[in-house]
Structure 1
Amino acid sequence: MNKKASSPVFIYDEEEIAYKFNEDHPFNQDRLTMTVDLLRKAGALPDRAIRKPRPATDNELLRVHSQAYIDAVKGLSCPVPEERFVQAASRFGLDTDDTPYFAGMHDITAEVVGGSITAVDLVMSGAAPHALHLGGGLHHALQSKGAGFCVYNDASAAIAHAQETYGAKVLYVDTDVHHGDGVQWTFYADPLVCTLSIHETGKFLFPGTGAVNERGEGDAFGTNINIPVEPYTEDDSWLECFSEVLTATIARFQPDIIISQHGCDAHALDPLAHVHCSMRVYKAMPELIHALAHQWCAGRWVALGGGGYDIWRVVPRAWSLLWLVMSEQAHLDQLEAQPQLALPQTWLDAWQSKSPVHLPATWLDPVEDWAPIPRREAIAEKNRHTKELAMMYLK
């Protein structure tokens, strides 16, 4: 590191909410606005912590995307695209219900990519120990195809930037309930990038990949690690799998930086998946990443956003907890002493009238009131077996 790091930074620009497909799409960027508002009302996000993203250049996009794909995205970004681009949209995955093209998508997605690259620059240069970019985490986009609500893959571009600019070995950790396929396939044969994804098994959920036996190829065999957990997995089993595999992985790989993706759709209330975790996971998981970053790579940690489709009850709390951990806020001590610590009343007052559901009043969930999951032990045992398979080449 070139100079002593100061405080963690929060990459954010209100313009990022323009990454929006249509009014009915589940990828709703109100979740980002609500998260920033919650952190500000909690007194946890001072203006001095915020840095604006800048657009990624075409050369930065070309590290992970083809020229033909970038040209197609640009062409389809026009208010009225030329017919040749409209005809080609299906070839590039940009005409589906999940990932439909929209006006201005190149410029706004290039800014999302640039935000994640900015986070890498701040951390790798030593200007900040950690950086969070919640607008990022678009992990499904492939070299020449958009998919799963993702146009450009900012996570892959950030990893490629860390490699090319700083010569860094990168550990990528993906906690979204959907497999981090775009990042996996981009670096599947690269021994200097290790990808670890914990997700609901692809037997039941998009994108259908992420099996334990997808381990990398050539010299990179063993540097691709998947933990596909069962539907209705709960906190203890999820954390057991994640903690043991990540701890073994980082000790084996010894990266220069951790880049993590924080989709929060493994929560029980998320409408698009079947994992049954509570907010406890979204505090414990970044706490482990934070500790391991300091143990193994001088604290260098970049965190990105990702999925999360209960935008009212889940995403603002989960993403706020990530920042509370990253920036070591006093709220964490209060949560240890008072697990049912209340959310700021001013935030609840601001958003309850807009919400179609009753907002939770506390940072963590009252899991003792939740109905128990049938087959809990059988699910945990199946996940334990999967965990052992995932760790086969880590011992």
Structure 2
Amino acid sequence: MAANAVLVHHPQALHYKFNEQHPFNPVRLTLTMDLLRQLGALDEHQMVQPAPAQYADLLRVHRKDYIEAIAALSSPSPAPDLLAQAGRYGLDFEDTPYFSGMHEAAAAIAGGSLHAAELVMSGQTQHAMHMAGGLHHAFPERGAGFCIYNDTAVAIAHIREKYNARVLYIDTDVHHGDGVQWMFYNDPDVCTYSIHETGKFLFPGTGFVYERGDGEGFGASYNIPVEPYTEDDSWMESFTTTVEKVAAAFRPDIIISQHGCDAHALDPLSHIHCSMRIYQEMPAIIHRLAHHYAQGRWVAVGGGGYDIWRVVPRAWALVWLEMCGHPLLRTDHLEQLSMPETWRQRWTQQADDELPTSWLDDSASWTPMPRRAEIARKNRETALIAVQDL
């Protein structure tokens, strides 16, 4: 697993901001990249600035009238008649409100994921990470769940059209990767895999095991919904026992993974009780699968994560450290390693919470979840059902 990775970033992605009170805050990107720089794990020569996605790129997955509406609503003063139609496109609600410049910011993000995919598929690098990507809830005709353009779907559509390659999409966000799933629900050469909190209790209310694909795509969609208050051991058991089987059965040409880190116990928008441990272990598994089945071709994108000070920077940094083979991850006692003090000093005054001092959490000191055994049993049964045909 030789280190051969690039980090794709467009400065315009930092303008993907709905408002000051909105939980989706692009400072997550700045915090993570600064953490990696303070660690000495990210140099400028490892970074690539992509071009924004063009209309033709977006049209591969989004409707023309939707793109035009996004562009028009991006004006500082949209026309009154257009404002009245914003709800038709899912853009006048609390979770995904329109904002000035949103087309430019969202197109930059879509272009980043597309460029990351092209770099890997063309052989210019084995691995590419695009932290700003992972906006997996956007649909062809509407935005939803903080997502305007579905950047990962744009990248997958590009891969399918230009390279006719088989794509395994692995979504580890606590929310079901619904937009990506439904866009490729009929395509047997795009396998979507999502592990998430069950839709019985969490947005977007989908992602059940019976969602298996349709038509020629039947059997190329896998969902692993877990119970509220799932902890590390059960989450990782559900993940490892299913993703290994899916990858072995599908045998992809490339893996694209979405690394939303909102299954952490500190995240305010979900009910899962995991620690930073899963965000060290899942990228390592995906990395190994990419080398075993896809000649190392691996693209990683960001996604959700709303404890922006204590969780997101560590989780996304761990993906990059795994991707580039950083020696920090070779230690047997990562939980004892301290975060860079220079990073903590730089951001302490701005942080809403006390910044973490170590890379992993001391979850042994956490109060055990009631019904732990019952939750683990239910998750085990669900995982077995999800991959029973493999």
TM-score, normalised by the number of residues in structure 2: 0.98
Verify the 8 A CA contact 2:3 2:325 in the aligned structure 1.
no
Verify the 8 A CA contact 2:139 2:183 in the aligned structure 1.
yes
Deviation of the 1:84 alpha carbon: 2.5
Verify the 8 A CA contact 1:258 1:293 in the aligned structure 2.
yes
Verify the 8 A CA contact 2:10 2:112 in the aligned structure 1.
no
Counterpart position of 1:55: 52
Q: Out of 371, 381, 386, which is 1:385 matched to?
A: 381
Counterpart position of 1:303: 300
Report the number of matched residues.
Answer: 389
Which secondary structure does the structure 1 equivalent of 2:7 belong to? Answer: strand
> Percent identity of the aligned residues?
58
Deviation of the 1:6 alpha carbon: 7.2
Specify the code of the residue in structure 2 equivalent to 1:74: A
2:112 is the counterpart of 1:133: no
In 2, Cα distance between equivalents of 1:359 and 1:322: 19
Specify the code of the residue in structure 1 equivalent to 2:362: P
Which secondary structure does the structure 2 equivalent of 1:339 belong to? Answer: helix
Counterpart position of 1:363: 359
Counterpart position of 1:235: 232
Counterpart position of 2:285: 288
Q: How big is the alpha-carbon RMSD for the aligned residues of Structure 1 and Structure 2?
A: 1.0
Specify the code of the residue in structure 2 equivalent to 1:244: T
2:113 is the counterpart of 1:116: yes
In 2, Cα distance between equivalents of 1:14 and 1:270: 26
In 1, Cα distance between equivalents of 2:287 and 2:148: 29
Deviation of the 1:282 alpha carbon: 0.3
Deviation of the 1:15 alpha carbon: 2.6
Counterpart position of 2:80: 83
The runs of 5 or more residues in structure 1 that have no matched partner are none
Counterpart position of 1:346: 342
In 2, Cα distance between equivalents of 1:91 and 1:356: 35
In 1, Cα distance between equivalents of 2:321 and 2:121: 21
Counterpart position of 1:223: 220
TM-score, normalised by the number of residues in structure 1: 0.97
Specify the code of the residue in structure 2 equivalent to 1:241: S
Which secondary structure does the structure 2 equivalent of 1:136 belong to? Answer: coil
Verify the 8 A CA contact 1:6 1:128 in the aligned structure 2.
no
Specify the code of the residue in structure 2 equivalent to 1:372: P
In 1, Cα distance between equivalents of 2:225 and 2:139: 21
Q: Out of 130, 145, 148, which is 2:145 matched to?
A: 148
Specify the code of the residue in structure 2 equivalent to 1:380: A
Counterpart position of 2:253: 256
Q: Deviations over 1:13-54 (max 9, x none)?
A: 333110000000000111111000000000000111000121
Specify the code of the residue in structure 2 equivalent to 1:369: S
Q: Deviations over 1:271-310 (max 9, x none)?
A: 0000111001001000000000000000000000000000
Q: How does 1:188-203 map to 2 (within 5 A)?
A: 188-203=185-200
**Which segments of structure 1 move beyond 3 Å, counting only runs of 4 or more?**
none
Counterpart position of 1:279: 276
Q: How does 1:146-185 map to 2 (within 5 A)?
A: 146-185=143-182
Counterpart position of 1:209: 206
Verify the 8 A CA contact 1:12 1:133 in the aligned structure 2.
yes
In 2, Cα distance between equivalents of 1:205 and 1:29: 23
Deviation of the 1:123 alpha carbon: 0.3
Verify the 8 A CA contact 1:340 1:366 in the aligned structure 2.
no
2:317 is the counterpart of 1:324: no
Deviation of the 1:338 alpha carbon: 4.5
Verify the 8 A CA contact 1:271 1:310 in the aligned structure 2.
yes
In 2, Cα distance between equivalents of 1:311 and 1:339: 20
In 2, Cα distance between equivalents of 1:25 and 1:185: 26
Q: Deviations over 1:316-352 (max 9, x none)?
A: 0000000000000011123x24532100000111111
